[in-house]
């Protein structure tokens, strides 16, 4: 499938049919996604895979009973077949930019980063993973890190890393609850591209 076709076809899916993702295959795919760019070759992004047998435990930690009871999407989401936690190790970026060939940048001090590249790199690696999943015939939902980060990291036994996002993976069952965001009127893609003129 051509890259342009993948980009146009890829959509977030929030209702899965329960098909399990094979853990070794997912680990290999995650390693491929880590070909994404990384600032200074810092290599500070990590993927942590959660197999089908642990998905129930993940949702117990990542959500609370009140949210599960009121969410229209929970039933569809919990039927995902695999989960990937995307994390970053900011200390690796700060240390890398303290090395002799980068020290002149002043980025060996975390407060000097106008854009924290550990977030940028995590986003690029996540997009690479989403496209590889689409190419492989799987669907996914990106679940942002809005709450319960500490509990999730503790449950997964991940230390010295920041949770960027979670990718839920599976086969779509066609019962997605349509996002209200899709009803918004937004500028066209072409109108959001403009040449710099002086």
3-state helix, strand, coil in the chain (%, to 5): 45, 15, 40
pLDDT at 52 over 80: yes
- The vertex-29 CA angle with 46 and 7, nearest 5°, equals 100
**Two tokens, residue 69:** 């009871």
- 41 near 134, Cβ under 8 Å? no
**Two tokens, residue 112:** 């000097």
The closest of 66, 17, 19 to 176, measured between CA atoms, is 17
Residue pointed to by tokens 């003129």: 197
10 pLDDT band, cuts 50/70/90, is: confident
- 137 near 172, Cβ under 8 Å? no
Helix (H) or strand (E) holding 68: helix 65-70
- 170 near 138, Cβ under 8 Å? yes
pLDDT at 11 over 90: no
pLDDT of residue 29: 97
To the nearest 10 degrees (0 to 180), the angle between helices 23-33 and 117-135 is: 130
pLDDT at 147 over 90: no
167 pLDDT band, cuts 50/70/90, is: very high
Bigger pLDDT: 10 vs 153: 153
47 pLDDT band, cuts 50/70/90, is: very high
Bigger pLDDT: 11 vs 168: 168
Alpha helical stretches, state H, 72-180: 74-78, 90-96, 117-135, 149-156
pLDDT of residue 8: 83
What whole-number percentage of the chain has pLDDT above 70?
99
pLDDT of residue 178: 78
First to last CA, the chain: 40
Distance CA 81, CA 53 (A): 9
pLDDT of residue 180: 79
Query: 186 in helix, strand or coil?
Result: coil
Summarize the confidence of residues 129-136 as an average pLDDT: 95
Class for the domain spanning 15-175: alpha beta
pLDDT of residue 6: 78
183 pLDDT band, cuts 50/70/90, is: confident
pLDDT of residue 2: 87
**pTM score of the predicted model:** 0.92
- 192 near 182, Cβ under 8 Å? no
pLDDT at 1 over 80: no
């Amino acid at each position: 499938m051509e890259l342009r076709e993948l980009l146009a076809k890829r959509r977030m899916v929030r209702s899965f049919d329960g098909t399990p993702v094979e853990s070794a295959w997912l680990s290999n795919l995650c390693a491929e996604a880590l070909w994404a760019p990384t600032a200074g070759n810092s290599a500070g992004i990590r993927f942590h895979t959660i197999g089908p047998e642990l998905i129930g435990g993940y949702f117990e930690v990542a959500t609370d009973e009140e949210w599960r009871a009121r969410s229209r999407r929970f039933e569809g989401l919990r039927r995902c077949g695999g989960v990937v936690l995307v994390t970053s190790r900011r200390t690796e970026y700060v240390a890398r930019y303290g090395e002799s060939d980068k020290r002149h940048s002043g980025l060996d001090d975390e407060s000097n980063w106008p854009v924290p590249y550990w977030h940028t790199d995590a986003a690029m690696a996540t997009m690479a993973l989403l496209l590889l999943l689409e190419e492989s015939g799987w669907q996914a939902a990106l679940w942002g890190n809005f709450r319960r980060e500490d509990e999730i990291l503790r449950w997964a036994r991940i230390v010295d890393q920041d949770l960027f996002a979670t990718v839920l993976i599976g086969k779509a069952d066609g019962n997605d609850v349509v996002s209200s965001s899709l009803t918004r009127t937004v500028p066209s893609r072409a109108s959001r591209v403009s040449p710099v003129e002086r």
